[in-house]
Structure 1
């Protein structure tokens, strides 16, 4: 009895543990998949951390223009006191023959054994052209970091969209394979009955069995491919591989239309690459201004306030009465005069960088124009192929249907049925390959137009 109770408790515990660890099935549309990936993809999280770092960089540069205050406390033991030489004339006593003689030098100790110093120093930047330009450059760098994140988000949306469409196509193909398998299994059973009744031959049964076995293997391969495509989608979304997902979009609901894009109605700024180049150009121009500002003077306000003490007895510098107060306030003006033409050559290099960004715009515009034409042509061709494959599929379905009827009525051959079924499966494969190509072309065109995600 005790053993039975133990087994029951163990079973209940196991069931509870299994339920606790069971993951809830999540449903995703294409847009929900993209949104989830934009929030949870690890690479995007790293890019957003870089944005935070860029914002902190702005604060770091701004801090350079705020007052800089330091407190210093210095206590030292001059265990070997430094000595200086004084001419003997300073210490010569005419009445003392043992005093230092003129023309000699006498070592004298001026440094006390113990020293102490407590100081508060402060400085304030009053004018520095590089500082003002640095603030602008830091803000522009923050903008560049944000645009880099957007570029990564577009890449993620592109990858998720293609992976999502891959799952949809494989799902439809799996359903069709299952239908084919059921139809062929039914035909095989009917042919066996016909063989038992002397209407069909053993060769007819064997041919159908071979075709059935081949289709069964193809179904198993499609199931593995389906699982692999789902895992790829989970990876692109940033989902755990063990998470079970259900796609709510249907392949029949996806609209793919031919779209023409010309340079007259296309705004290059829609492309994040163009916007990134604009920001890089601004940074290059700010760098040039920053180097030129090095010729301007710099003005600082400095101040010091503190106490110091010195004695040959350490106890003397531990009492406040031994300390002497001092203070200083003043301005410092630094005027650059000659740096060996260093800034001159830096300016020449920076001018080349600015000029190269102008050439970069022309190259990028040409590249975008070509990409638009390629994507539009790719989509047009894909839709033409899809239309042809759709017609071929309809014809193959009709041929397979007629061949089956003819065979069942005894006016057609079994070989004709198998050939029609093989052609039908090939037509289905070609059709879904054309569907996938059209969907990929659609994503590529949206990416080329800069409309894949809203920025």
Structure 2
């Protein structure tokens, strides 16, 4: 038994350790894979999808108004105090009471089965009687009813059905807009990590090269071929570059965490990027020569849908002047009794006999509701809806101008960034060559240590400028893709 328990515990430990290693293993993502992951896990996008489902639920509420409405109810109560009303007895029988006077002289003796003949004499009472209080109903009452109604015609409902489809399209487009914004953020964060990582690689190389120069100069100093100030200068440059390297590492880690955040990934999960910076630059040059398709902008499409909804809203307000026709029906039972026991057993006992105290009823009819005057409320609602439509029409002009400006600006920024890259690349090549030659001259004793440090400083600045230009070009590429409506998943 102990052996089996030990084997079980070791198995559980191995499974747990394997699970931990699997969770800590870096996940390799290309840019497209990062985008796909974000579209499936980004919290803001999930909320947008929930909003889309909420819109679908609202559409269902609109459609439900045209379906049959069926309700059932049971009502049982105790008429603690019965409602009373006054009844004027003078309204019956001409205002008086007729009395029959039978005199003995009018009675024939019953003889041999012959009939008795009565000759009444009526005496009219002309004195009016006071009102009489009468209570209707019994102490306990109940009812059970099933009612149903079906909308036959309603102009607002018909317009609402048309608006439901348009509203669905608007919800889908708003979801697409959130997806585009997510793609935009993930792409920029991904490019930022690529550039920072490449720059860190160059800093590592510069640090190794400067470390070699520092060790060589230290040896020259020990042998008397260099001054201590030369060693000190290189040591200061080395220390500064070391600090810059540590800063770059933290910036890379921060950029990776930002990318994880934009993707909706846990920050503790290791992440590895597989795309190359050179491929991204080639894509930037292709985008710079792409054509613009105005209809691809999601903002323009959303505004068109909102305009369609505004037109339907006007029609909906106008349909308020139309009549509404409904089919109604009710069926049920109602009962009453002087005791709750008789009411509950559906019959009333009188002497030895039982009598029913619940009776069914049914009603089927058509209800026509015709609006006549509402204090001009619908008139002003229609006026407001028309003004809203004019506002949306004016918004098209503003949006078109905004898109044109954004397109020109992003295109200019990308063209300038690509030109700056070419210039900075030439400067980087020159600075690299100057640093190489200066280092050779210093080793051969025909150059100064100050020239080496200056050349290394200029090289690092050229590298910084070059990668800053690359980052600007990549961001301008993303902005241009978004401006042209080509930033899609």
The corresponding residue for 1:257 is 285
C-alpha separation between the residues in 2 aligned to 1:268 and 1:119? 61
Q: Does the 8 Å CA contact 1:68/1:124 hold for their aligned counterparts?
A: yes
User: Which residue of structure 2 lines up, in the alignment, with residue 46 of structure 1?
Assistant: 47
Q: 2:199 aligns with which of 132, 151, 173?
A: 173
Aligned counterpart in structure 1 of residue 335 of structure 2, from 309, 322, 325: 309
| Residue in 1 that maps onto 2:377 | 342
Runs of 4+ in 1 over 4 A off after TM superposition: 9-19, 90-95, 258-262
The Cα offsets for residues 42-100 of structure 1, whole Å up to 9 and x where unpaired, read as 111111111111112222211111111111111110111111112253697677xxx9x
Question: Over aligned residue pairs, what C-alpha RMSD do you find?
Answer: 2.2
- The answer to whether the 8 Å contact 2:288/2:414 transfers is no
Q: Which runs of 5+ in 1 are unaligned?
A: 1-8
Q: 1:404 aligns with which of 436, 439, 442?
A: 439
**Residue 256 of structure 2 is aligned to residue 221 of structure 1:** no
User: Normalized against structure 1, the TM-score is what?
Assistant: 0.92
Is the 8 Å Cα contact of residues 83 and 111 (structure 1) preserved in structure 2? Answer: no
Q: Distance in 1 between matches of 2:385 and 2:130?
A: 62
Structure-1 separation of matches of 2:188 and 2:178: 16
Match of 1:133 among 136, 159, 162: 159
Q: Which residue of 2 aligns with 1:234?
A: 260
Distance 1:148 1:94, change over 3 A: same
Shift of the 197–10 alpha-carbon distance from structure 1 to 2, 3 Å rule, reads farther
1:21 counterpart residue number:
20
CA distances 1:225-279 after superposition (whole Å, capped 9, x unpaired): 01000000000000000011110101112112175689xx643220000000011
Task: Extract unaligned runs of 5+ from structure 2.
Answer: 1-7, 100-124, 347-355
- Within 2, Cα distance between the matches of 1:102 and 1:292? 61
Work out the CA distance in 2 between the residues paired with 1:65 and 1:422: 77
- CA gap 1:64/1:379 in 2 versus in 1, 3 angstroms: same
Q: Is the 1:161–1:443 Cα contact (8 Å) retained in structure 2?
A: yes
Could you tell me how far 1:319 is from its partner in structure 2?
2.8
Q: Are 1:416 and 2:488 an aligned pair?
A: no
Distance 1:120 1:10, change over 3 A: closer
> Would the alpha carbon gap of residues 439 and 349 (structure 1) be closer, same or farther in structure 2, given more than 3 Å must change?
same
Give 3-state SS (helix, strand or coil) of 1:111's partner. coil
SS class of match (2:285): coil
Matches within 5 A, 1:52-71: 52-71=53-72
Shift, 1:105, TM fit: 3.0
Deviation at 1:149, TM superposition (A): 0.8
Q: What is aligned with 2:133?
A: 107
Q: Distance in 2 between matches of 1:11 and 1:303?
A: 73
2:213 alignment counterpart: 187
Whether 1:323 aligns to 2:387 is no
